[in-house]
A and B are shown apart, each in its own frame.
Chain A
Amino acid sequence: MSAFTQAFAADRTPPLLKRGATAAFAAGAVTAVAMSPASYLHTTVARMLPLALLAVSVAVVTGHAGLPTLGQVAPYAVGAYLTARLALTGIDLAAVHLLTAAIGGAVVAGLIGTVLVRYRGTVFLMLSLAVAEVTAITAGQWRAVSGGTDGLAGIPAPRLLPGLPPLHGDRTVLLYAATIAVAATFVAVWLLRGDRRMLLTAARTNEDRARASGHLVYANLWMVHTAAGGLAGIAGALLIHTHRWITPADVGFGVAALALLAVVIGGARSLIGAAVGAVIVLIVRDIVAVEVPGHAPLLLGTLFVIGVYLLPGGLTALPTRLRRQLSAGPHSAPPAPANASVRRTS
């Protein structure tokens, strides 16, 4: 092996350094986009960020708790409509919006989680699908709150602090939304590190053994589901801050499916990967598909198939897979038997 492949195969980079490098890369990418003179690019990227943060919340539930979900659109919708209603009633402080949306999202996810978290696998997925459908139907029919299928438009821009001007301007909104999305993602990454990550891995990969070791699996998964709901609520607030309108289609099954697709492509165990996956999905849907009008679903379907078959574990697992292949080498010997003495199988 070359020196490069040896170094790549070893990968002893400290986690803190990795996170720092990722944060620096994210900041650099946002700065590069913000420096661009194209305001269309600012708007496009800013409008990707709510879905990216929603995908992060889906990755928390799907990848870390092991519960594949379409239901995160419920707290997302709650966060979005709460923010819209606050803004329309004259409360335009961004911090109030974000806090209210986070609490509202967490409360709704907590209530839903009391039922959903008791189930696993396909049953959980189907129940979460029902949650997504109920969310869209409620948003369409509860006209007093949601404005019905017409939605809510003309939502005022938020202010960072009292006395400051509202966040107008494509570049300003981009920088604001990127700051919130990146900060929320890194807080989630920070919370899911070390022992918390280890305990969730235990609950996800062998629930019976975890219970037999005294771990309250249901309570742990419920807390993760609830916290992810808070994250989805913040994503909902960002949706309003970047779009400044909302319709039931923005919180329906289509959005839930896109978020789950982003997680599949980016990697369920990596929150940053999920955010990157969301950006890829939206680039395919909103930019690449422009070249082949009417074929966006086909492109997304192809992307999904590629993600499932060629990228098990998602984009973020790719370096690890390559590293394992490199460290195994083309002529490595098979593993030796554990012990040559007599083995009984009674």
Chain B
Amino acid sequence: MRIVHPVEPDQPPSPRSGRDPDHAHGNGLVASGLRHAYGPLTVLDLDTFTIAPGDRHAVIGPNGAGKSTLLGVLAGTIRAQTGQLTYNGHTVTRHGAEWRARAGIGRTFQHPTLWPDLTCLDCVRIGGWHHRRNPDRTPMETLHLVGLADHAHQHAGSLSHGHRRMLDLAVAIAGQPRILLLDEPAAGLTDTETGRLIDVIHRMPSWIAVVLVEHHMDVVAAVADWITVLHHGRRHTAGPADTVRADPRVAALYLGTNGGGHAAHP
């Protein structure tokens, strides 16, 4: 199995422009013509979706908009029925989740079950298994980053929900991803834990792309510089974060007429 060489860490990210659909073609992830349906119900129907190094990209939308399906398709856990994906210029449409993870596409899960019988330290070791001889940081340092150093020898199954979510993030980070897909990382977190999550994302190197599916608009506002709004599996709106958040159509669809609030009204 040939692994596509990831983007060199030293390569600076190019600034994102909404006028540049080919932005990610050379060294990012490009999805085109993605379509996925469960029976008669189409849950994803996207012409293009691109992720380039350094992106901080939020995908929002009401429940059932296809956000998690999109993340699954990008990560390889769901195989799109039609469409094509290229990563660093290579077609990866038929490559599975394990291949994509090794190539640098990491992810967290909406329901972070992890490995309940293993300690937090072992979970992070497994997450970074393929980089164990040349890690960016040790498993303990990764746990320290997400605030779980004191729980290193505790079984993952005995952690609180918030800690489990942070451990899921630590496992994904340990895999040294070039593109990190986060599926509702703030769901169920306390204010303190949410602050920690935002801090962790801010401290990620600028060449890592972060794609965030999230209902928690404070987190989206703090992290994302680009927002895609999905509705019934299709792109409703996409653009710079400030523009999209100010768009009255998005407010009407998703945020509520007051335009604020922490969580979406489904």
Q: What is the interface of chain A, defined by CB distance below 8 A to chain B? A: 198-199, 201-202, 205-206, 208-217, 337-339, 341-346
Q: Which of A199, A215, A341, A342 contacts B98 (CB 8 A)?
A: A215
Return the CB mask of B87-106 against A: 1 if under 8 Å, else 0: 00000000011110110001
Q: Give 12 A-B contacts (CB < 8 Å), ordered by A residue.
A: A199-B126, A201-B115, A206-B115, A208-B77, A212-B75, A212-B107, A338-B162, A339-B162, A339-B193, A343-B190, A344-B186, A344-B188
B129 in contact (CB, < 8 A): yes
Q: Do A345 and B188 contact each other (CB < 8 Å), given the known contacts A209-B113, A209-B114, A211-B96?
A: yes
Provide the residues of chain A in CB contact with B98, threshold 8 Å. 211-212, 214-217
A209 contacts B171, C-beta separation under 8 Å: yes
Provide the residues of chain A in CB contact with B96, threshold 8 Å. 211
B97 contacts A212, C-beta separation under 8 Å: yes
Provide the residues of chain A in CB contact with B137, threshold 8 Å. none
Q: Apart from A199-B129, A213-B174, A337-B160, what 4 extra A-B contacts exist at CB < 8 Å?
A: A198-B118, A202-B115, A209-B109, A215-B129
Q: Which of B99, B161, B262 contacts A346 (CB 8 A)?
A: B262
Least Cβ–Cβ distance between A142 and chain B, in angstroms? 38
Residue of A205, A216, A217 with most chain B CB atoms under a 10 A cut-off: A205
A214 contacts B175, C-beta separation under 8 Å: yes
B97 contacts A343, C-beta separation under 8 Å: no
B162 contacts A214, C-beta separation under 8 Å: no
Least Cβ–Cβ distance between A270 and chain B, in angstroms? 14
User: Quick one: closest A residue to B159, CB to CB?
Assistant: A338
User: Quick one: closest A residue to B97, CB to CB?
Assistant: A211
A198 CA to B123 CA, complexed, in Å: 9
B116 in contact (CB, < 8 A): yes
User: Quick one: closest A residue to B164, CB to CB?
Assistant: A338
B45 in contact (CB, < 8 A): no
B23 in contact (CB, < 8 A): no
Least Cβ–Cβ distance between B69 and chain A, in angstroms? 15
Provide the residues of chain B in CB contact with A338, threshold 8 Å. 160-163, 190
Least Cβ–Cβ distance between A192 and chain B, in angstroms? 15
A211 contacts B113, C-beta separation under 8 Å: no
Q: Do A198 and B97 contact each other (CB < 8 Å), given the known contacts A342-B190, A342-B191?
A: no
Least Cβ–Cβ distance between B149 and chain A, in angstroms? 16
How many chain B residues touch A (Cβ–Cβ < 8 Å)?
A: 47
A201 CA to B115 CA, complexed, in Å: 8
Least Cβ–Cβ distance between B255 and chain A, in angstroms? 13
B187 contacts A345, C-beta separation under 8 Å: yes
Provide the residues of chain A in CB contact with B187, threshold 8 Å. 344-346
Q: Do A339 and B171 contact each other (CB < 8 Å), given the known contacts A209-B109, A346-B264?
A: no
Provide the residues of chain A in CB contact with B57, threshold 8 Å. none
User: Quick one: closest B residue to A336, CB to CB?
Assistant: B160
A209 contacts B115, C-beta separation under 8 Å: yes
Q: Do A205 and B263 contact each other (CB < 8 Å), given the known contacts A198-B125, A215-B126, A345-B187?
A: no
- Per CB-CB distance, the 4 closest pairs between chain A and chain B, nearest first, are A338-B160, A346-B263, A214-B101, A214-B102
Q: Do A201 and B216 contact each other (CB < 8 Å), given the known contacts A214-B102, A214-B175?
A: no
User: Quick one: closest B residue to A335, CB to CB?
Assistant: B158
Provide the residues of chain B in CB contact with A201, threshold 8 Å. 115, 117-118
User: Quick one: closest A residue to B106, CB to CB?
Assistant: A212
B5 in contact (CB, < 8 A): no
A341 CA to B193 CA, complexed, in Å: 10
Provide the residues of chain A in CB contact with B116, threshold 8 Å. 205
B215 in contact (CB, < 8 A): yes
A212 CA to B113 CA, complexed, in Å: 13
Least Cβ–Cβ distance between A10 and chain B, in angstroms? 15
Provide the residues of chain B in CB contact with A217, threshold 8 Å. 98
A334 CA to B263 CA, complexed, in Å: 32
Q: Do A213 and B175 contact each other (CB < 8 Å), given the known contacts A339-B193, A346-B215?
A: yes
Provide the residues of chain B in CB contact with A202, threshold 8 Å. 115, 118, 126
A201 CA to B114 CA, complexed, in Å: 11
Provide the residues of chain B in CB contact with A198, threshold 8 Å. 118, 122, 125-126
User: Quick one: closest A residue to B123, CB to CB?
Assistant: A202
A216 CA to B114 CA, complexed, in Å: 17
